[in-house]
Every structure is written in C-alpha cells, then in structure tokens.
Amino acid sequence: MKKNLKILGHRGYSSRYPENTLLAFKKAFENNAHGIECDLQKSKDNKYIVIHDDKIDRVTNKKGSINQLTLKQLKTCTINETEKILELSELLTIIPEDKVINIELKEETIKEEDCPFILNTFLKIFNKENLLISSFSDRLLYFFKKNQITIGFLIGEKYKKLGAFKLLKVLFKLKPDYVNLPVLMFKELGDTVSNIFIFFLKIFKRKILFWVINTEQELKRVLKFSDIIITDNPEFIYKTINKFYYKK
C-alpha cells in the first residue's frame, strides 16, 4: 500500500450492500477499508440520521422528507427489507477504534446551529483523531475547524460556477485540511486544468481526497495525488493497489 493512503467505503461497501446501513459499514471494515464515508441529515425531532438523500423514497420501503419525519417514524422504515435507518450515535458505537469516519453534513437539513450538538455526540463516543467532517457548505465547517477537528471541503457545482478566483478565496479563508475532489473533474475540466488546480493545492499543503473511485482507470488517474480515496468497492480498490502498484 502507498504510505498513509486511506481507503474509505462510500456509504459503506455500497456496491454490494445497501448504502449507509450497519451491514454496508461492517462489510467495508471486513474488506480492508481504513474507514467509511457516510452522510448526515436531521429529522423533524432534531435527531441526526445517517442517510444521503433528504427524502427516504429512494432507499426505503416508504416515502417522505427526513425533516418531516420523527426518529420513531424513520425507524419503521426498512432498507432492502432487513436494514434500518441509523441514528448517528448508533453508528459510532460499531466503528472499530482504529478506523476513520468521514461524515458529510448535508445542508438540506443541517444548519450551523447544529454543529455543536453534532460534535458533542462524536466526542462522547469517538476518537476525534479519526474523525473527518466534510461538507459542500463552507459555513458548516468553520465551527469544526475552530474546534480543531479535521475538515474536508467538497468541491461541487455551486463553487465551480463561482469561478476559480472565488473558489480560491473560500479555500484561503477556510483552510480545510482536505479538499475533496470528484474524479469527474478530469472529464469536466480536462487534464491540464485539473492538474494545475491540484498542483496549487499541493503547494498550499492541502491534502486531497478523491471520490468516487471504482475502476482501475480512475485509480490510475488519481493515485499519485491522493491522501484518501473514497470508493463504493473498498475490496476491489485495496486488492488492485496491492496487486498492481505496491508490494504487499
């Protein structure tokens, strides 16, 4: 393995198991993931829920908006017939001590005033040294940065539309530990522009997280730049790195 490179299961081992479930997270750990990536939304009764969408329609047997449903109501849903929606504290209790968790705060339901409560939940259960808080919203990250929690800034459509100057301004102000980049950037921006952007990030000593890497071709493109790789298939990425690129 490349020294210090971390492989995180995207919503767990989501290529084979239902995303953001205990089963997917446990299977990621069993298959050489150094940790997991997952998403956080807030319910109607202010409980923090591990789910990507702001609605339950896509992944459960029921329909509705997360912020219009209580935790009790959410717990009546099933995912893939057997799995249940998780509350944040439930997830934290099953993560091994040596594993990393990257939580993405979803700005559809999470607000700045939620950040202290979220951090307090983590610190009661989890070692902050293995915690990475990420978001597309820089507003949701300042509190964690101030409290010396590792943060990752996700680059999405919102900031690409602002242009390079405004994006760099946000980065200089926030000073994230990680800049979280989509592998699609190479296709959308081209190799030259993408490589120049990565070059500047490295000059300013930002670490780079790439998502979502699922093929050998994608892996080849990002491996030399990456400090963290997020993948739907941690088993495949781990084996591919060891088989083709580094001695075991």
Burial category of 137 from C-beta neighbours within 10 Å (exposed 0-12, middle 13-18, buried 19 and up): middle
Q: How many CB atoms lie within 10 A of CB 18?
A: 20
Dist. CA 22–CA 50, nearest whole Å: 10
Residue 100 belongs to some domain of the structure? yes
- Provide the domain limits for residue 218: 6-244
Count the domains in the chain: 1
Residues 67, 111: contact at Cβ < 8 Å?
A: no
Handedness of CA 161, 50, 139, 69 (dihedral sign): positive
Residue 85's nearest CA partner among 10, 17, 18, 14 is 18
Residue 157 belongs to some domain of the structure? yes
Residue 54's nearest CA partner among 216, 83, 34, 44 is 44
Residue 78 belongs to some domain of the structure? yes
In order along its 248 residues, the chain shows pLDDT tens digits of: 566 899 999 999 999 999 999 999 999 999 999 999 999 999 999 999 999 999 999 999 999 999 999 999 999 999 999 999 999 999 999 999 999 999 999 999 999 999 999 999 999 999 999 999 999 999 999 999 999 999 999 997 766 666 677 788 889 999 999 999 999 999 988 999 899 999 999 999 999 999 999 999 999 999 999 999 999 999 999 999 988 776 54
Q: How many CB atoms lie within 10 A of CB 169?
A: 12
Residues in the chain: 248
Residue 1 belongs to some domain of the structure? no
Long-range own/partner contacts, residues 234-238 (CB < 8 A, 24 or more apart): 234/7, 234/8, 234/9, 234/13, 234/28, 234/31, 234/32, 234/33, 235/13, 235/31, 235/32, 236/15, 237/7, 237/213, 238/1, 238/7, 238/31, 238/32, 238/33
Residue 131 belongs to some domain of the structure? yes
Residues 194, 185: contact at Cβ < 8 Å?
A: yes
CATH code at position 14: 3.20.20.190
Residue 156 is predicted with a pLDDT of 79
